[in-house]
Amino acid sequence: MKLKHLVLLAAGLALAGFAGAAPVDSKTTFTRDALQKYVDSGELPGAISILYNNGVQETACVGYADVAKKRPIKLDDPYMQCSQTKGFCGVTIAILVEEGKLNLDDPVSKYLPEFGTLWVETPGTNGTRTLTRAKNVLTVRMVMNHTGGFPFELPNFQAMGGWSRRMPLRSVAATAASQPLKFEPGTKVQYSNVGIDIGATVVEKITGKRWEAFLKERVLDPLGMKNSGFWPTAAQLAHQIELYDVKGGTPAKWRSDNPSMQRPYGDDRVFSSAGAGLWTTAEDQLKFYKMLMNLGMGDNGVRILKEETVKAILATSTRPANLKDPNYSLGLRAPIADNENEWFGHGGAWGTNCMVNWHKKQLKLWVVQECGGPRPWDGARAAAADKFFQTKIDNSGADAYTGRLK
């Protein structure tokens, strides 16, 4: 083919949003072989594992989404991803930073005035407490990397039904601002759904849109994540991945829900939460994390963020060097420095997890819906993943342009 024709073909593919063909099937069964005995014993209800290595992929759907009905677990079954929602909020913050509409070191009070004066609570003896005015300025960076001083949840959320029975994000932020902080902003670490919700409220203030609407417009829809949202329909819930109490050595037991995420799931009492609350499927989740792995480029050729943005504030910790346990960026666990052997990503309360290595174009996605433990299959699947990544597999059929279009 003449050079002119090659150039025209490449341009046409770029305009069409082409980012690569489907990955090569590894033909391996490392994960299935490791997990099957736990499914057979009833200890593990069902799980989805996707391992990806530079164009080669092993996909394993093992067991059931509903054990009682013997309904096999599938890639398009919806499930709660819980705290993996935080990374989605991080991406929306990163979009605004990239567009020059937000600086991570902006005071939160620049957008939400109620955070202008904050108080820090110091516990004393015999149940006493001391309140002192905060000296440090609370920044957007702090609320997104869990150093803002906020508790995991607002005290009244459990009575309201946990993460999914909250209140509008603006009300979450206002309530948080009215209560004392646990420590001086930027000096300690406290994992906090509240802080991430404050970050989402800043997004709402800047964009003039509901956070979930902005997320859908700028991330979910462009990536083709059609089955992700905060209000699953009855049709979706008919084939959800059910929740189970697990304890290694005994059969898992179905549970209707968890106090933190109570039924019903899709009615008008549910408000979006950036800290935990987005429903998704393994297919959709894969699209999001492959975008992160490809440094802002979706597998469908749509760019969500620039490479430099992902590297600087999503794939690398934004915390001070002395607050590195664990390292954290914007809603994502991330290394303190750029290293080819480091991974970044996030997990969720019911055992879901996805981590990516952008240097090596590698990904590990895990989907379960489990409460309790121990979970002996976690060690087995980790060993299976090691085998996969150590095995040399011919990836000559993988498209050379995957994730590399600008």
Taking each helix axis from N to C terminus, what angle separates 193-207 and 85-98, rounded to the nearest 10 degrees? Answer: 40
Instruction: Please indicate, yes or no, whether residues 241 and 366 belong to a single structural domain of this protein.
Output: yes
- Residue 396: what pLDDT? 54
CA distance 112 to 171: 11
Nearest to 138 by CA among 117, 157, 158, 159: 117
Residue 11 lies in a domain: no
If phi > 0 it is left, if psi is from -120 to 50 it is alpha, else beta; for residue 322 that is alpha
What is the block-wise mean pLDDT of the chain (406 residues), using blocks of 10 residues? 36 41 92 98 98 97 98 98 97 98 98 97 83 97 98 76 72 95 97 97 98 98 97 94 96 88 74 92 98 98 98 96 86 92 96 98 98 96 97 59 32
Reduced to 3 states (helix: H, G, I; strand: E, B; else coil), residue 280 is strand
If phi > 0 it is left, if psi is from -120 to 50 it is alpha, else beta; for residue 317 that is beta
Query: Terminus-to-terminus CA distance in the chain, angstroms?
Result: 24
Question: Facing residues of 47 across strands?
Answer: 62
Residue 295 lies in a domain: yes
Cβ atoms within 10 Å of 342's Cβ, excluding its own: 17
Residue type, 82: C
* Stated length of the chain: 406
- Residue 12: what pLDDT? 38
Instruction: Please indicate, yes or no, whether residues 45 and 167 belong to a single structural domain of this protein.
Output: no
Instruction: Please indicate, yes or no, whether residues 192 and 321 belong to a single structural domain of this protein.
Output: no
Reduced to 3 states (helix: H, G, I; strand: E, B; else coil), residue 324 is coil
Residue 44 lies in a domain: yes
155 burial level (CB within 10 Å; 0-12, 13-18, 19+): exposed
Residue type, 305: L
Instruction: Please indicate, yes or no, whether residues 71 and 112 belong to a single structural domain of this protein.
Output: no
Residue 118 lies in a domain: yes
State how many domains the chain has: 2
Question: Facing residues of 343 across strands?
Answer: none
Instruction: Please indicate, yes or no, whether residues 228 and 159 belong to a single structural domain of this protein.
Output: no
Residue 176 lies in a domain: yes
Residue carrying structure tokens 């430099």:
308
CA distance 118 to 112: 12
Instruction: Please indicate, yes or no, whether residues 290 and 261 belong to a single structural domain of this protein.
Output: yes
- Residue 16: what pLDDT? 37
- At residue 114, φ and ψ (nearest 5 deg) are -65, -15
Residue 7 lies in a domain: no
The pTM (predicted TM-score) of the whole model is 0.91
CA distance 209 to 46: 38
Domain boundary among 148, 175, 207: 207
- Residue 362: what pLDDT? 98
Domain boundary among 189, 207, 225: 207
- Residue 165: what pLDDT? 61
pLDDT digits over 193-212, tens only? 999 999 999 999 999 999 99
- Residue 252: what pLDDT? 97
Instruction: Please indicate, yes or no, whether residues 121 and 151 belong to a single structural domain of this protein.
Output: yes
Residue 94 lies in a domain: no
133 is in which domain, residue-wise?
103-207
Reduced to 3 states (helix: H, G, I; strand: E, B; else coil), residue 316 is coil
Q: Which helix (H) or strand (E) holds 246?
A: strand 244-247
Residue 345 lies in a domain: yes
DSSP secondary structure string, 25-70? E----HHHHHHHHHHHTTSS-EEEEEEEETTEEEEEEEEEEETTTT
